[in-house]
A and B are shown apart, each in its own frame.
Chain A
């Protein structure tokens, strides 16, 4: 079982990154062409929009899907893809890109975000390690019964349960012979 504390500093940072992901994702999706033009990478417009969908998915995962660790790692993987894409825009072969400087700024921003993601992942894993190191309480003696379970089975079979809580005979399990008798007589049908 994954352990996480939804009030911890690691989780708060993960939530912050979740909102950042959604904001960035919406911007990439809605203004993909403008972003691509600003970086001089117009041919990557659709790719940037696809990255927007990826960011929104990671954001929803971080904010709403419990354990944030897999989603933070998905962000780190996404950051690597972003950097690879931006590196292509800044590569020597693309020095005719008049806006390579903007691509470099974007690359720096992604690096900063990656650093935050890595710090967050480390914090979350440290917190999990802490919870895993705590002793697991032993509840194996907590039956709630005064005697062994086998002795308590059926001890309340005489309980006063109204007819409205009983299954109507017509809906009860039928006997192997098909007779509509009560299920207590129909062990062969429900074993």
Chain B
């Protein structure tokens, strides 16, 4: 089969690789009909996320048709069913899964010993996302093996296009959880850093959950335009001061809820601290660029909440934790517990409350994937979300 394969920094290729096979009775094989490039895939492409090996198949946003089911998954899945696959693999049996904390499933990471060493305790296995999270083959491919498939799936009813439901596997529930864990109240101002795909979903989620005011921060004009279409007041950080504008919009008090939809690769040249971060990252003195975290801590209203769906990989430097402590900020973060939200979100899509396909700007065949990684990374051609067709 053909798949997008990681060969090193800035080197993802469309290769021919062996077809996946059932390796465990709980496995299923899915023929991928549609997949997407996620912003967090760029961390792998740029090789700022440790734990990749040459030959790894990438991709964790995908859906398709079940073509083979292991003996122990047959009660839950049937050949021919159409499924979206969540990016977090979950067993459904461990203490964390029983609490709905699927992204920290205790059993799905097959490299648990490594993750225990690096993180203290393991988190869930993820598709196509480093050997720290299991080293599972990803879904930017024609076929994919889905471990623990009796749990790790979202069944899709007829009448909905791939484009409408694909993002149930990651960015829609990720944006939703980012807003939900802020416990948004009708009086809240929610400030969201980053108008990439997750940021766009977060804006819509905050609106649906009833925020009084949603403010979106970015620098790319077309992304800001899309944010505005979704109901956000926009701030272009290259043209105006984020701190001054947020204070102006909140009567000088700051937003109650701040959401980081940027993560470890904050724009490198906008401010002195982000330039220092980039230089330190290049010299391997830190792994993550934390400009957004610093700014959120600074602008957030005391007793407010910081929500962090943006991906961080390791160590950050110069985080003003004393400021956060003295302001009494609440921190909510983590990978998304995808299946906790998907029944509700699928209903909302079916009812027509939202159509997540609004974010798609490019649809190309799988073999154009490597080029589209670069287009997406460089924000060329108005690129916000790339969908691939194997």
Task: Please report A residues at the B interface, Cβ cutoff 8 Å.
Answer: 1-7, 60-61, 63-67, 70, 131, 134, 136-146, 149, 152-157, 159-162, 164-167, 171-173, 182-184, 186-187, 190-191
Contacts and interface: CB of A to CB of B under 8 A. Distances in A.
Nearest to A184: B185
A157 B355 contact: no
Contacts of A187: 186-187
Given A6-B374, A136-B221, A157 B209 contact: yes
A4 B269 CA distance: 13
Interface of B: 10, 99-100, 177, 180-181, 183, 185-188, 200, 204-205, 207-211, 219-223, 225-226, 228-231, 238, 251, 256, 267-269, 275, 278-279, 281-283, 301, 303, 305, 328, 330, 332, 340, 344, 348, 352-359, 361, 374, 377-378, 380-382, 384
B269 A152 contact: no
Contact of A137 (B181, B282, B382): B382
Contact of B282 (A1, A64, A138, A172): A64
A153 to B, nearest CB: 5
Contacts of A182: 185
A160 B275 CA distance: 41
Query: Which of A5, A61, A142, A154 gathers the greatest number of chain B CB atoms within 10 Å?
Result: A142
Contacts of B210: 153-154, 156-157
A65 B275 contact: yes
A190 B251 CA distance: 10
B353 A159 contact: no
Nearest to A1: B219
Main secondary structure of the interface of A (DSSP, over half): loop
B209 A154 contact: yes
A166 B305 CA distance: 11
Contact of B183 (A2, A131, A167): A167
Given A4-B378, A184-B186, 8 more contacts: A65-B268, A66-B268, A139-B223, A143-B231, A145-B231, A156-B205, A162-B100, A183-B187
B382 A64 contact: no
A77 to B, nearest CB: 18
Contacts of B377: 6
Contacts of A152: 207-208, 231, 353
A166 B231 contact: no
